C-alpha cells in the first residue's frame, strides 16, 4: 500500500466498523527487521483504499516521559537536545501491547502497555565421561528468558478522522513478569463520559479517572489490599485484578505474610486471597 511505504509494520490489529470499513492500528518501525516500534499508526480501510492513515511517533507525545521520575526525565531531555543540536532525530523505541480500539461517540480510545523481554544467566555443571573412562566436569553458562517487564502505559484519544487529540502516559509496574505478552489494565467500554482505568500493581489497587478532554481528575484512589489480622506485613505478594461486572472487580492472588505482633497467629504464613472491590 502506498500509504505504508518506508514503514515496517510490527503489529497489526483490525476491527470492523459499520458497513464494509475496518480500523487498522498497530506499531511500526522505520528499519526493517526491528522488533521495537518508534510509533503507532491508525487508519480506516474501506476494503480497497484508506479513508485516512495517520502515523504518530512516540517522541512526539506530549506526556510520553511523564511516568519517569524528575532525574530520569532530565537525563532524557538532555539526550534529546544533544541529538537535535547535531541535526539528528531523537528516536524512542518501545514494544506496546495494544488493547482493542474502543469506539466513543466523538472518536476512538487506544490503550497500550509497554513491555520489554528480560533474561537471566544460569550456570550449570555438566559431567561427561570420555571413551577412556575419564570423567570430566565443565561449567556451562546459558541465557534464559525471564519474562516480560512492563514499565508504563499510554492512553490516546483520536477523533473520527484518526487525528490524535491527546495522550496520557503513566507508570505500570505489575507484581510479576509474565512469560507471554498480556494486558494488565481494565478499562470498561463506555461510549461517553469519564474514562476509568484500574489495575493491580505491587500489592495495591490503582485507579485513574480521566475526563473526555484528557485531564486526569482522580488518581489518588490507590488502596492496599486489606490484611486478615492486625500486625500482618506482606513480604511477598502476587495479585491479579479482573473485571467482574459493572463497577465491580475481583482482586486475587498469593501472598507471604509475617506477623510478629499477634501471638494468636503464625509468625509466617502463606495463602491465597480473594477480595471484591467497587470502583466508582
DSSP secondary structure, 86-105, as one string: TT------BEEEEPPPEEET
Tell me the C-alpha distance between 126 and 225, whole Å: 45
Q: Which residue has the higher pLDDT, 215 or 232?
A: 215
pLDDT value for 153: 93
User: Looking at the DSSP assignment, which residues form a beta bridge with residue 143?
Assistant: 121
Other residues' Cβ atoms within 10 Å of the Cβ of residue 46: 12
Q: What is the mean pLDDT of the chain?
A: 83
Q: What is the mean pLDDT of residues 224-252?
A: 69
Per-residue pLDDT for 221 more than 60?
no
Q: State pLDDT tens for residues 98-128.
A: 999 999 999 999 999 999 999 999 888 888 8
3-state secondary structure of 71: helix
pLDDT value for 25: 92
Q: State pLDDT tens for residues 159-211.
A: 999 999 999 998 898 878 889 999 999 888 888 899 999 887 766 778 899 99
Q: State pLDDT tens for residues 82-100.
A: 887 888 777 778 899 999 9
pLDDT value for 156: 95
pLDDT value for 2: 57
Tell me the C-alpha distance between 133 and 122, whole Å: 28
Contact 122, 162 (CB under 8 A): no
In degrees rounded to 5, what are phi and psi of residue 7?
A: -125, 130
DSSP secondary structure letter of residue 20: T
Amino acid at each position: 500500500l502506498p500509504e505504508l511505504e518506508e514503514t515496517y509494520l510490527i503489529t497489526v490489529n483490525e476491527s470492523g466498523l459499520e458497513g464494509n470499513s475496518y480500523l487498522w492500528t498497530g506499531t511500526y518501525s522505520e528499519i526493517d527487521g526491528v522488533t521495537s516500534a518508534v510509533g503507532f499508526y491508525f487508519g480506516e480501510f474501506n476494503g480497497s483504499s484508506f479513508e485516512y492513515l495517520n502515523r504518530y511517533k512516540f517522541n512526539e507525545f506530549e506526556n510520553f516521559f511523564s511516568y519517569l521520575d524528575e532525574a530520569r526525565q532530565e537525563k532524557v531531555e538532555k539526550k534529546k537536545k544533544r541529538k537535535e543540536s547535531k541535526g539528528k532525530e531523537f528516536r524512542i523505541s518501545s514494544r506496546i501491547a495494544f488493547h482493542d480500539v474502543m469506539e466513543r461517540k466523538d472518536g476512538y480510545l487506544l490503550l497500550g502497555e509497554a513491555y520489554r523481554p528480560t533474561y537471566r544467566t544460569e550456570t550449570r555443571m555438566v559431567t561427561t565421561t570420555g571413551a577412556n573412562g575419564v570423567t570430566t566436569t565443565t561449567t556451562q553458562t546459558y541465557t534464559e528468558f525471564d519474562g516480560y517487564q512492563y514499565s508504563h502505559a499510554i492512553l490516546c484519544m483520536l477523533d473520527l478522522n484518526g487525528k490524535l487529540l491527546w495522550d496520557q502516559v503513566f507508570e505500570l509496574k505489575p507484581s510479576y513478569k509474565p512469560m507471554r505478552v498480556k494486558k494488565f489494565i481494565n478499562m470498561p467500554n463506555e461510549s461517553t463520559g469519564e474514562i476509568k482505568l484500574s489495575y493491580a500493581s505491587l500489592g495495591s489497587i490503582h485507579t485513574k479517572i480521566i475526563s473526555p478532554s484528557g485531564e486526569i481528575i482522580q488518581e489518588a484512589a490507590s488502596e492496599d489490599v486489606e490484611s486478615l489480622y492486625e500486625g500482618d506485613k506482606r513480604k511477598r505478594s502476587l495479585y491479579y485484578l479482573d473485571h467482574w461486572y459493572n463497577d465491580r472487580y475481583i482482586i486475587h492472588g498469593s501472598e507471604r505474610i509475617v506477623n510478629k505482633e499477634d501471638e494468636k497467629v503464625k509468625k509466617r504464613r502463606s495463602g491465597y486471597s480473594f477480595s471484591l472491590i467497587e470502583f466508582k
